[in-house]
Amino acid sequence: MMNSTQQEVVAGRKVFYDKIGSANCTPLWEVLHSLVTIVPNTPCLPYLWNWSTVWPWLQEAGQLITAKEAERRVLVLENPGLRGRTRITHSLYAGLQLILPGEVAAAHRHSQSALRFIMHGDGAYTAVDGEKVVMHPGDFVITPSWTYHDHGNESSEPMVWLDGLDLPIVELLDAQFRQDGADDMQHIASAANVNLARFGNTMKPVQYKARSKTSPLFWYPYDRTLEALTILSAHEDPHPCWGHKLQYTNPVTGDWAIPTMGTFMQLLPAGFEGKAYRSTDSTIFTVVEGSGTCTINGQVLSFGPKDVFVCPSWMPYTLAADTQAVLFSFSDRPVQQALDLWRESF
């Protein structure tokens, strides 16, 4: 209980705070320790979206609204600690997009960079600045910032992929722009195998000049990625924390494939039991194949094919595999490294 002197001090300070508050000032000393914390203090929570739960909802959404009406028929994966803020981590957005046979998601472009990771179905396409790629499960596709893109499904089955965007980062910087295309579908000038021939074989066209920091290779087929991981697993011991893990890169520069989002694929051998790992970049994982667990701060998330889960910043997590498991993941690591903020511990 405060004595009279302490009460006078508190009252005097309140008068001062109210006075400076009327001119939009505030005392740092009242909030300093909540701003500059000893370790990262994130409201993000560990969470797993089970495919068996969300797949029926995606099908129901397909009956409720068309791709044309929705523009993008997506179920946003909102972190339970950030509900209502349309994001899976503080800095990243994720959602599951459904496109049904015969549908087209109309062309548009935006300043946000986007990734597509194909989870379900086979044979739909995306077109990026006039180049078309037919997508298959496990493929990683990039939509660079400010490039026109549309999606279509010419197959006979529904198609679902994970959308990942740097939307919160762009919003933080007040740099968000968008523009609709003149038509729903772009004129296709080139197939994706041409893009793969240009940049996907450790070579590039002699006269190529980079237009941006994003990889000019926008389609990374799963069969090539899995082949690389399989060869590594046959000849190298797995890392004690993450097994066999590769980073997607810009083949011209060797840097990140997307300047704001780091993307990875890893293979956990059957029976793998990883050691604890933590880093400052909150990471979103998608299970390509296999099953296992991710234990985060003592919370066990059991994962299987097509599940999505998130490991928040600086929370120790361990990965274990019941069967051989392949995991795709993305995070904001490139931004943190560019700003000299990124840390890891294991």
Per-residue pLDDT of the chain (346 residues; tens, 9 = 90+): 778 889 999 999 999 999 999 999 999 999 999 999 999 999 999 999 999 999 999 999 999 999 999 999 999 999 999 999 999 999 999 999 999 999 999 999 999 999 999 999 999 999 999 999 999 999 999 999 999 999 999 999 999 999 999 999 999 999 999 999 999 998 888 766 789 999 999 999 999 999 899 999 999 999 999 999 999 999 999 999 999 999 999 999 999 999 999 999 999 999 999 999 999 999 999 999 999 999 999 999 999 999 999 999 999 999 999 999 999 999 999 999 999 999 999 9
Contact, 276 vs 312, CB < 8 A?
no
Kindly report the pTM of this predicted structure.
0.95
In this prediction, residue 189 carries a pLDDT of 84
The DSSP symbol for 30 reads: G
In this prediction, residue 192 carries a pLDDT of 64
* 288-328 confidence digits (pLDDT tens): 999 999 999 999 999 999 999 999 999 999 999 999 999 99
Strand 104-110 to strand 114-120: parallel, antiparallel, or no bridges (unpaired)?
Answer: unpaired
Closest by CA position to 306, among listed 6, 4, 98? 98
Region of 130 (left: φ > 0; alpha: ψ -120 to 50; beta: rest) is left
Q: Which class in CATH covers the domain with range 47-345?
A: mainly beta
Please state, rounded to an integer, the average pLDDT across all residues of the chain: 96
In this prediction, residue 267 carries a pLDDT of 98
Q: Which residue ranges make up each domain of the chain?
A: 47-345
Long-range contacts of 168-176 (CB under 8 A, 24+ apart): 168/85, 168/87, 168/89, 168/90, 168/91, 168/92, 168/93, 169/91, 169/92, 169/260, 169/332, 169/335, 170/111, 170/112, 172/91, 175/111, 176/110, 176/111, 176/112
